[in-house]
Structure 1
Amino acid sequence: MLDPLSAPEQVRRRRQVTTLALPRRAPRPGRSHDQPPRWQIYLPLGLYLLFTLIPFYWMLLFAFREPGSDSLVPWPITGQHFEKVWTERSFDTYFVNSLYVGIASMLMTMLVALTGGYALARFRFKLRMPFMLALLTSQFIPGALMLVPLFEIFRELRMLNSLWSVIIAETVFQLPLSMILISGFIRNVPVSLEEQAWVDGCSRLRAFLAIVLPLLRPGLIAVGSFAFVHSWNHFLFALMFLNAQDKQTIPVGLNTLIGSDSVDLGALAAGGVVAAVPVVIVFAFIQKWLITGFSAGAVKG
């Protein structure tokens, strides 16, 4: 016959059984033990957002505030500064020129980068890696160093004071990075899809247009949007290659608003709003495609 358990041992056994029988508390949904409190996430983000939006508010304040007012609220709202820069300062002409340069540079960059990126992604040739290395190293060359050679080239071609000189220069400087990005997007498309189209009787061009090109839409939108924004905002090429006032772009037009002795802050802020609106609209409409394009291009290099 076994000896009975002592009283302390019986109490300990009962506590163990009770502890095992009790259900464990489920973790609170939406929050893990490693996740910091919400205020530690939203507070830095809020401060960063405030720091980012203050310059934009300051620009809108000077653009819509009446001349001579020192109020921190643009009320009553006036459009005198916009009327001044649009009519008296020829910003309507600058806007059309910038739009023409941006769209033309975007289309040319996308077309050449698409063909070059397809060649880098689908074909294997001896100078492929040195060529890609040359594309990458070209990104370390500042555009200002190439102003004098480009000026001499366009002067010999009699293309100075023409918008096409700016378009060609913008396209050349945006091609290396755009071509590398497009080649990464094309590598993500399985080559077996093209091979099936070839078996069905399609040529390489028709298979590319029917199979590969629709799948490259996010990548093309990402590359084209940055090409447009870069051409829209670039200042040096337009300043060096365009002399006539009716050929200048918005960045050069903004520079004309800054005098040697004084600055019209209201007109300058209104011009800045005019220059920023197309960029904001572009990124607002293509945000989903932009994120999808860069996530697709980041899978393979």
Structure 2
Amino acid sequence: MTPQATAHPAPAAGPPRRTPGRPAGRRARRWALNGAGLLVAFFAAFPVYWMIATSLKPSREIFSSTPRPVPTEPTLEHYREILTGNLIPGVTFGDFFLNSVLVAGSTVLLSGLVALLAATAVARFRFTLRTSFLIMLLIVQMIPLEALVIPLFLMIQRLGLYNTLPSLVLTYLGFSLPFAVWMLRGFVAAVPKELEEAAAIDGANRAQIFRRILFPLVAPGLVATSIFSFITAWNELIFALTFINDQDSYTLPVAMTFFFGRDDTAWGPVMAASTLFTLPVIVFFLLVQRRMVSGLVAGAVKG
């Protein structure tokens, strides 16, 4: 008889060993990343802070040889000057502001509507030259805007839109649509077709399916693209200066050029006007911030 082997019990598994210094390494890396983020945020926010601080300084403090980060004698004289005075005889800062709001608002609404319909067609239907159309959307965005000034000017003249605000809306619409269609296409493609088919079985027509099923699911992407359209129309200068001749139809970027003279520059009013010029963009960002972030992330991983 062979002796039976004695089974030895396996040693009980103890707690996992902790590598010395690992928590400290993670903490140091986290502090380094946070510090780098704060440094980048500081460099990005400092020009905006300096603009607001300068707009609150009196003229003698702006041109002082010793720059002061904080106004010692805050004043609103520069804001009163641009809001109550006339940059151009008979035209106030509010008129320029209203022109910019009309142009930017119209661009956002039209680009959102047209881009959503075009993105739905591209994502849901198969038609001839569909791939070529998508490639053209990318190629259009590679063309520098300065190269299009003369051809667009001739086209606007032939359409009879020269010296009108709709000429700017049409131009900005052409610049914002390729990006909007390309981005919204991913959102529409990510919506399951089964949802639309189920709604159709329940008796919903195409308009009801689009309004109740597709539109709510694509809304975050629509908000993200509206940011691009708004900034494009709000900040653009070259085409606004080329297509508009009447001074009472100027937008804010064009009106800002009146503060810069040949011999000197009114830096106080420039900074005050720039602050008021920036406020609508900041408010727009704050209103759509949550949907914008979710829209950008979803658009990056879906499609």
| TM-score of Structure 1 vs Structure 2, range by shorter chain | 0.7 to 0.9
Q: Tell me which residue corresponds to 1:229.
A: 231
Contact 1:186 1:212 in 2 (8 A): yes
Contact 1:188 1:296 in 2 (8 A): no
Q: Tell me which residue corresponds to 2:216.
A: 214
TM-score normalised per structure 1: 0.87
* Larger radius of gyration between Structure 1 and Structure 2: 1
Q: Tell me which residue corresponds to 2:104.
A: 102
Is 1:139 aligned to 2:125, yes or no?
no
Q: Tell me which residue corresponds to 1:163.
A: 165
SS of equivalent to 2:301: coil
Measure, in 1, the Cα distance between the counterparts of 2:130 and 2:93.
45
- Aligned AA for 1:77? P
Q: Tell me which residue corresponds to 1:14.
A: none
Is 1:83 aligned to 2:44, yes or no?
no
Measure, in 2, the Cα distance between the counterparts of 1:31 and 1:221.
41
Contact 2:164 2:249 in 1 (8 A): yes
Measure, in 2, the Cα distance between the counterparts of 1:97 and 1:238.
11
Measure, in 1, the Cα distance between the counterparts of 2:297 and 2:49.
32
Contact 1:188 1:297 in 2 (8 A): no
SS of equivalent to 2:71: coil
Q: Tell me which residue corresponds to 2:261.
A: 259
Contact 1:110 1:223 in 2 (8 A): yes
Correspondence 1:1-301 to 2 at 5 A = 23=15, 36-69=28-61, 70=64, 71-88=68-85, 89=87, 90-301=92-303
Identity of aligned residues (%): 35
TM-score normalised per structure 2: 0.87
Measure, in 2, the Cα distance between the counterparts of 1:128 and 1:202.
28
| 1:7-64, Cα deviation, whole Å (9 max, x unpaired) | xxxxxxxxxx8xx787556799x95966743331122222212212221122112100
The alpha-carbon distance between structure 1 residues 80 and 34, as it changes in their structure 2 partners (threshold 3 A), is closer
Measure, in 2, the Cα distance between the counterparts of 1:188 and 1:27.
44
Measure, in 2, the Cα distance between the counterparts of 1:35 and 1:73.
35
Measure, in 2, the Cα distance between the counterparts of 1:114 and 1:292.
18
Measure, in 2, the Cα distance between the counterparts of 1:31 and 1:224.
43
User: What is the Cα deviation at residue 126 of structure 1?
Assistant: 2.1
Contact 2:83 2:93 in 1 (8 A): yes
User: What is the Cα deviation at residue 201 of structure 1?
Assistant: 2.1
- Aligned AA for 1:65? K
Measure, in 1, the Cα distance between the counterparts of 2:203 and 2:23.
55
Which structure 2 segments of 5+ residues have no match? Answer: 1-10
- Aligned AA for 2:255? G
User: What is the Cα deviation at residue 151 of structure 1?
Assistant: 1.1
User: What is the Cα deviation at residue 83 of structure 1?
Assistant: 1.5
- Aligned AA for 1:97? N
Measure, in 2, the Cα distance between the counterparts of 1:184 and 1:195.
19
RMSD between aligned alpha carbons?
2.2
SS of equivalent to 2:263: coil
Contact 1:114 1:182 in 2 (8 A): yes
